[in-house]
């Protein structure tokens, strides 16, 4: 029994000693250290913000070539799809009927001019006789009327001849502009009409330069107007604002143009206003109907605050950046985001250039929490430098 009591006492002492050791270890370890996060001040860089819109290329000149006289097609003098110069003969319409009209009109003019000369000679003769009282005033008035009628006949004959000559000229159809021609809509031997519903022969579009037509939202348009009224930006209506463009298979903005037209009304159905840029087409790639992207300056040159997109936190509809204050505590700051630039996100408002923004370890940072900030740096992506 004495042995049992001794064993029990020893066991109790061991348990008490173990508890004391655990308490000592807990006291020595203390609370876990604050989590480490990487912080950096925003990158500040001078830039111009750009607004991007989608639009379509159009020809500066786009002409539907139609017949101006009725007749049968004798010749087609171009290859479908080729480039033509202004004044090139495209079609020949049988001119013989109109040439005969010219001959008849010319003969009528000769006859009218002959009658005019006779009437003028008679009037001159009677005028001399009137001075000697040999001819009455009535006869002289009749001569004057005949002379006036002869003059009118000559004028009418000349008009008929001019119209007949125009028909002969119109039987040779020439390209009104330089550009690329479409295919022929008629064949040799077809009858074409030049009446109130003239026959379409082909189409020619100018190639260089080209128009780029796009619609700007009412909100963006008002922003430009406000900036112009304060003198911060040029007026697109009269200052030739420079823009950059690209096609669907182009990643850079190598093409440049100038705004040359802003419409005078905002469409009440779409809430947009039509604008247009004129763009050189020196490489001949641009074709009417192609879609493209255009970017135009949305701000003057200014010092922009940039952070990585990965540093932006979403809280319902609000965008936040987590910053660390001088005491090492996390502070949440609501921000207003701008577009991307140089691979980073523009922050329009909400932080200062001196704030220390959490750029790594966001999952370990909570507003109000104590953290261990580690210095980092925000740099431009390699392909944006």
Cα–Cα distance, 77 to 185 (Å, whole number) = 13
Residue 192 has pLDDT above 50, yes or no: yes
Going from N- to C-terminal start, the domains of the chain cover 36-48+302-384, 62-205
Cα–Cα distance, 350 to 338 (Å, whole number) = 12
Select 62-205's CATH number: 2.40.50.100, 3.90.79.10, 3.40.50.2300, 3.40.47.10: 2.40.50.100
Residue 125 has pLDDT above 80, yes or no: no
Q: Which residues are registered as beta bridge partners of 72? A: 191
The architecture that CATH gives domain 36-48+302-384 is Beta Barrel (2.40)
Preceding omega of 209 cis (within 30 degrees of 0): yes
Residues 6+ apart with CB under 8 A from 299: 48, 49, 227, 232, 233
Q: What is the mean pLDDT of residues 142-164?
A: 89
Quote the pLDDT of residue 132.
55
CA geometry: angle at 261 spanning 282 and 304, to 5°?
85
Quote the pLDDT of residue 15.
47
Helix (H/G/I), strand (E/B), else coil: 124: helix
95, 96, 99, 105 alpha-carbon torsion, rounded to 10°: -120
Residue 278 has pLDDT above 50, yes or no: yes
Q: What is the mean pLDDT of residues 127-144?
A: 70
Helix (H/G/I), strand (E/B), else coil: 172: strand
Question: Closest Cα partner for 279 from 214, 331, 220, 368?
Answer: 214
Quote the pLDDT of residue 25.
46
Q: What is the mean pLDDT of residues 313-327?
A: 89
Question: Closest Cα partner for 359 from 272, 270, 182, 347?
Answer: 347
Quote the pLDDT of residue 130.
63
Q: Are 233 and 302 in contact, with CB atoms under 8 Å apart?
A: no
Cα–Cα distance, 164 to 178 (Å, whole number) = 28
Of the spans 140-149, 175-184, 214-223, 229-238, which averages the highest pLDDT?
A: 175-184
> Terminal CA-to-CA distance of the chain, rounded, Å?
88
Q: Are 97 and 149 in contact, with CB atoms under 8 Å apart?
A: no
Q: Are 272 and 286 in contact, with CB atoms under 8 Å apart?
A: no
Quote the pLDDT of residue 124.
79
């Amino acid at each position: 029994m004495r042995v049992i009591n001794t064993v029990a006492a020893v066991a109790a002492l061991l348990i008490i000693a173990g508890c004391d050791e655990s308490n000592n270890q807990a006291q020595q370890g203390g609370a876990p250290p604050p989590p480490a996060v990487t912080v950096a001040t925003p990158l500040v860089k001078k830039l111009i913000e750009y607004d991007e819109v989608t639009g379509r290329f159009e020809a500066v000149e786009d002409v539907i070539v139609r017949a101006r006289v009725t007749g049968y097609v004798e010749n087609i003098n171009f290859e479908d799809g080729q480039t033509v110069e202004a004044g090139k003969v495209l079609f020949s319409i049988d001119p013989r009927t109109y040439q005969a009209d010219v001959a008849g009109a010319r003969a009528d003019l000769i006859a009218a001019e002959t009658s005019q000369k006779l009437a003028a000679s008679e009037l001159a003769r009677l005028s001399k006789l009137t001075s000697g009282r040999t001819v009455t005033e009535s006869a002289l008035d009749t001569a004057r009327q005949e002379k006036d009628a002869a003059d009118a006949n000559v004028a009418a004959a000349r008009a008929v001849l001019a119209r007949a000559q125009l028909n002969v000229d119109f039987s040779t159809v020439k390209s009104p502009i330089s550009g690329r021609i479409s295919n022929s809509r008629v064949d040799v031997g077809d009858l074409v009409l030049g009446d109130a519903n003239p026959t379409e022969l082909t189409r020619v579009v100018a190639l260089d330069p080209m128009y780029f037509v796009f619609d700007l939202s009412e909100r963006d348009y008002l922003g430009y107007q406000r900036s112009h009224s304060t003198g911060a930006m040029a007026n697109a209506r009269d200052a030739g604002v420079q823009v950059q463009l690209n096609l669907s298979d182009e990643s850079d903005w190598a093409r440049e143009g100038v705004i040359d037209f802003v419409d005078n009304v905002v469409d009440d159905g779409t809430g947009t206003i039509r604008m247009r840029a004129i763009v050189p087409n020196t490489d001949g790639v641009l074709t009417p109907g192609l879609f493209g992207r255009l970017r135009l300056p949305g701000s003057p040159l200014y010092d922009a605050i940039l952070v990585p997109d990965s540093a932006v936190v979403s809280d319902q509809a609000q965008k936040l950046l987590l910053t660390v204050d001088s005491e090492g505590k996390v502070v949440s700051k609501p921000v207003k985001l701008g577009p991307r630039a140089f691979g980073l996100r523009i922050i329009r408002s909400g932080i200062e250039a001196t704030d220390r923004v959490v750029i790594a370890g966001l999952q370990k940072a909570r507003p109000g929490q104590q953290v261990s900030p580690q210095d980092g740096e925000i740099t431009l992506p390699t392909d944006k430098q």
